[in-house]
């Protein structure tokens, strides 16, 4: 089942997010199961919202790529909130995501 993941990064910034995206090579080597990623400011930090094929694929990404990268950069792991998604669609795409 698809899952929406909300990550809240206290003290995070656009510059930190850009560095993490680059370090993880997310644009040219997206993680398996990733469907969508959006990021922007929140009170006191930075929020990332992402849609994944499954919670297991997201957890593999955290274990294999995100956690080591954050530890290497001296950044704490964000708090994650999960929302199971039954259906999704993108206007104009003609198909369900």
8's CB contacts (< 8 A; 6+ apart) are 42, 45, 46, 47, 78, 79, 81
DSSP assigned state of 1: -
> Where does the pLDDT of residue 94 fall: very low under 50, low under 70, confident under 90, or very high at 90 and above?
low
Question: What pTM did the predictor assign?
Answer: 0.87
- Tens of pLDDT along 53-89? 999 999 999 999 999 988 888 888 898 999 999 988 7
Question: What confidence score (pLDDT) does residue 96 get?
Answer: 65
Architecture of the domain spanning 2-85: 2-Layer Sandwich (3.30)
- Tens of pLDDT along 9-50? 999 999 999 988 999 999 999 999 999 999 999 999 999 999
Residue-range domain boundaries for the chain = 2-85
- The CA dihedral of 80, 86, 91, 94, to the nearest 10 degrees, is 130
83's CB contacts (< 8 A; 6+ apart) are 3, 4, 6
- Better-scored residue on pLDDT, 1 or 91: 1
């Amino acid at each position: 089942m698809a899952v929406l993941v909300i990550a809240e990064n206290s003290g995070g910034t656009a510059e930190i997010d850009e560095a993490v995206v680059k370090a993880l090579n997310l644009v040219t080597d997206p993680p398996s199961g990733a469907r969508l990623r959006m990021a922007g400011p929140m009170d006191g930090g930075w929020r990332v919202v992402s849609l994944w094929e499954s919670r297991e694929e997201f957890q593999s990404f955290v274990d294999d790529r995100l956690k080591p990268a954050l530890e290497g950069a001296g950044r704490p792991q964000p708090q994650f909130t999960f929302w199971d998604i039954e259906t999704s669609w993108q206007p104009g795409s003609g198909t369900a995501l």
